[in-house]
Amino acid sequence: MTMFGKIFSKKTPKTDVKSNGEALNSSEIEQFIKDTLSHYISDNFPQGVLAVCQELSITQNKKITINLIMPFVCQGELDLLAQTLSENLACTVRIKIALAIKPVRQFSLGNDKNKADQDKAGQEGTVQGKVANIIAIASGKGGVGKSTTTVNLAYALMCEGARVGILDADIYGPSIPSMLGLKNEKPSSSDGKLMTPLDAKGLSAMSIGFLVDEADATVWRGPMASSAFNQLLNETDWPELDYLLIDMPPGTGDIQLTLAQKVPVAAAVIVTTPQDIALIDAVKGIAMFDKVKVPVLGIVENMSYHLCENCGHQSHIFGEAGGEHMAHDHETKLLGQLPLDIAIRQDADFGESDIIENSAGEIANHYRKIARNISAQLFLQCDIASPLTATITTRI
């Protein structure tokens, strides 16, 4: 299996001049750009960029700007392609991406109660009408860094240009408020019916932790927890969002199964560490989503290695390549690996975000790459317009 992020780009000739020494004219430059875009192959562009691009326009002045409308986040990846084009054309080339992210699934939930919830949500213009795609972030085992990863992936998707919300479904240990720097904050309501989500550096956030004391929530039994969660999801006045990430409670018991069934989830992502006991529970997580027919996009291996700040040595504290083997054995993708890094722990503890402060930094790059893989795989694996599942028409 290939590790995500490797780019398999077909070589294009260095070509600011023709073989006879003449400079390329503007239509030759345009053709060269289109050829490069269609021949660029990576895990997220298995059939090139043009196969998934919805609109392309090119402006040529002193600089060249390529405007693309895309169905998933990819700015960080295509910035690298713009660099290659700049070198090849001996001129500054920028790729500007506008996103047109559509819901990959339509829902008609089975039982009457769910249907009623859904209708109510639809009428009130909340989750069904406003949120394009809900992605559940789950882990079989507790403490593997699921909440930390959810928060950072939400910021990373935002850095890539998406409109993102986060919903803390970890009813028994809502840690998202403090990770977002919103501890002790309360949501308001403009109409006395729907709650306005809190804003965390541009993310729309909702958590049971905003509404009740942590100690009160921990004693809730299944139905109470599940109805509290439904309220959070459907009685929040979500703005228009491309993605709503749900931080699921750890485990694969009844509560998790009920949530996975009740929520109109487009797909799930499993977070694990490379440790054997975490992997065994992560497999249970995959099985749980299979049971309720929610596609699993892949797994994120957290705390994969620690990089010594002094000598740069990589140590695999929780074992090596466990996530990769598991993904292979269960025919899913390894969406990426994250280091065990003190800065990640400190940001989570202090409610800060290096991803927002330093969006081109090393930590941001790790999360942004995984965020792009999630967004692309959701489109490629689940959307009817995906070139892997259907033929699409490209408008150029």
Ligand X SMILES: Nc1ncnc2c1ncn2[C@@H]1O[C@H](COP(=O)(O)OP(=O)(O)OP(=O)(O)O)[C@@H](O)[C@H]1O
Residue positions forming the annotated binding site:
140-147
- Which one of residues 148, 236, 252, 337 is an interface residue with ligand X (CB under 6 A)? 148
165: helix, strand or coil? strand
Please give the radius of gyration of the chain, using alpha carbons only, rounded to the nearest integer.
Answer: 22
Instruction: Give min distance, CB of 44 to ligand X, in A.
Output: 23
- Quick one: 101 or 303, whose CB is closer to ligand X? 303
How far is CA 212 from each of CA 181, 196, 208, 347, rounded to the nearest angstrom?
17, 16, 6, 24
Residue 111: CB atoms within 10 A of its CB come to 10
Q: Which two tokens stand for residue 31?
A: 């053709």
Question: How many residues contact ligand X, by CB under 6 A?
Answer: 20
CA distance 229 to 209: 11
Judged by CB, which is closer to ligand X: 144, or 225? 144
Please report whether residue 143 would count as binding ligand X according to CB under 6 A. yes
Rounded-to-integer distance, Cα 173 and Cα 345, Å: 17
Instruction: Measure the CA–CA gap between 269 and 335, rounded to whole angstroms.
Output: 9
Residues 32-71 that bind ligand X (CB under 6 A): none
Judged by DSSP in three states, 350 sits in helix
Which residue's CB is nearer to ligand X, number 59 or number 346? 346
DSSP codes joined into one string, 30-95: HHHHHHHHHHEEETTBTT-STTT-SEEEEEESSSEEEEEEESS--HHHHHHHHHHHHHHHTS-EEE
- DSSP character for 183? T
CB of 269 to ligand X, least distance (A): 13
Residue among 95 and 164 whose Cβ is closer to ligand X? 164
- Which residues belong to the annotated binding site for ATP? 140-147
Q: Considering the complex, what minimum distance in angstroms separates the CB of residue 112 from ligand X?
A: 32
Pairing of strands 306-307, 296-301: unpaired
Is the CB of 90 or the CB of 307 nearer to ligand X?
Answer: 307
- Candidates 348, 364, 371, 376; binder of ligand X (CB under 6 A) is 348
Nearer Cβ to ligand X (235/352): 352
Tokens for 240, please give them: 């228009």
Least separation in angstroms between residue 62's CB and ligand X is 43
Rounded to a whole number of angstroms, the minimum distance from the CB of residue 371 to ligand X is 15
* Three-state SS at 313: coil
DSSP string, 98-123: EE----S-----SSHHHHHHHHHHHH
The CB-of-41 to ligand X minimum distance in angstroms stands at: 30
Closest CB to ligand X among residues 252, 302: 302
CB closer to ligand X, 175 vs 359 = 175
Among 146, 163, 333, 369, which residue interacts with ligand X (rule: CB under 6 A)? Answer: 146
**Per-residue x/- mask for ligand X, residues 166 to 185, rule CB under 6 A?**
----x--x-x----------
Q: State the binding string over 236-255 for ligand X (x if CB under 6 A, else -).
A: --------------x-----
CB of 302 to ligand X, least distance (A): 5
Question: Interaction with ligand X in 286-345: which residues (CB under 6 A)?
Answer: 302-303, 338, 340-341, 344-345
Alpha helices in the chain (DSSP H): 26-39, 75-89, 112-123, 127-130, 146-159, 176-179, 214-218, 222-234, 254-262, 276-291, 322-329, 342-350, 354-357, 362-382
CB of 314 to ligand X, least distance (A): 14
- Chain residues binding ligand X by CB under 6 A are 139, 142-148, 170, 173, 175, 250, 302-303, 338, 340-341, 344-345, 348
